[in-house]
Amino acid sequence: MTYKIAVLPGDGIGPEVMREALKILDVVERKSGVKFQTKFGHIGGEAYDKFGTPLPEETKKLCFDSNAVLLGSVGGSKWDSLPPHLKPEIGGLLALRKSLKLYANLRPIKVYRSLISISPLSEGVLKDGVDLITVRELSLGVYFGEPRGMDEEKGYDTMVYDRKTVEKIARVAFETARNRRKKVTSVDKANVLYSSIYWRKVVEEVAKDYPDVTLQHMYVDNAAMQLILNPSQFDVILTTNMFGDILSDESAALAGSLGMLPSASLGEKVNLYEPAGGSAPDIAGKNIANPIAQILSLAMMLEFSFNMVDVARKIEKAVEMVIEEGYRTRDIAEIPEKAISTSEMGDRICEKLEVIW
């Protein structure tokens, strides 16, 4: 078996953290016997500098011809003055997401016990552990519903959900829960919104196909509060486009650093995997960025695109072991002088992966 991976390092710290993720992929290839064919492409500001566009046609073709896309990061102040369609984030990343018809965004959050001190929440709130994932619908909802517009008297948007869309995203959440702690919390506003009433109805119908998974409903305002008061209660959060946009960012704060947070966006044929943080141009090229989010994004790729669930768990375990042993990059180090480099963090995780395989 050979899998084709489109590798798009992008801008800022992207190339640096991508190198560390590909070290992990080399270990996986050697240990598992599965072959990975990686081909590099251009995206974002660096693509604009070379080709005059943040998303060259060659890059789009590479992505469509691959089994998965592994992305670093895009953007930076260097390109802020460009017209919207040429900005790395809009003309590059968002255009690629649209081309791939991505419909589900997965944002896992884990607070490691030895990193509780860098979380904004108290140790008392986090003592039972936090390990959750938000499954956010990407293709519909208030961001895309029609009619929408604005005139001199009003601005208006429409939140719409149809059966096909809700069923598709709900199945992603239930299948994800089966590989975790088997609990789905569906977040809506069914006390006041018709679209949420319909959302809840369809989710309950889908749940019948997953008798091994527990389904709980929660209003979005309560969910936002519970993420702060008792985040350990959540396993898989299933929610709409707008609610997921807000809740996933709120939950991201629990970990204390964007350098720890991976993400996956599932498409009709090809999925895209990327760190949740940005390109951090202020530290680019200094070998001090945290590569863990990129490495965990690789683990998500192995799980969701290639069904290598056990391997993904091994990578996650290797990361946890390195963290528990006290190794820190600058963003998560309480004593900056003791921080290790980007490349050393990657090496340490590779060593642990070798040991636990």
- Catalytic residue numbers? 143, 189, 221, 245, 249
Tokens encoding 145 = 């519903």
Helical axes 220-229 vs 241-252, angle rounded to 10° = 10
Question: Beta strand 68-73 with 271-275: parallel, antiparallel or unpaired?
Answer: parallel
Q: How many Å separate Cα 163 from the centre of its chain?
A: 25
Measured CA to CA, the distance from residue 50 to residue 86 in angstroms comes to 13
Burial of 217 by CB count in 10 Å (0-12 exposed, 13-18 middle, 19+ buried)? middle
Sign of CA dihedral 308, 3, 175, 275: positive
Q: Give the torsion sign (CA, 1, 273, 159, 199).
A: positive
118: left (phi over 0), alpha (psi -120 to 50) or beta: alpha
Q: What is the greatest pairwise CA distance in the chain?
A: 65
What is the token pair recorded at 53?
């566009």
> Of 121, 123, 129, nearest to 234 (Cα)?
129
Q: Using alpha carbons only, how large is the chain's radius of gyration in Å?
A: 20
Would you say 238 and 186 are in contact if contact means Cβ atoms under 8 Å apart? yes
Nearest alpha carbon to residue 170 among 97, 103, 101, 112: 103
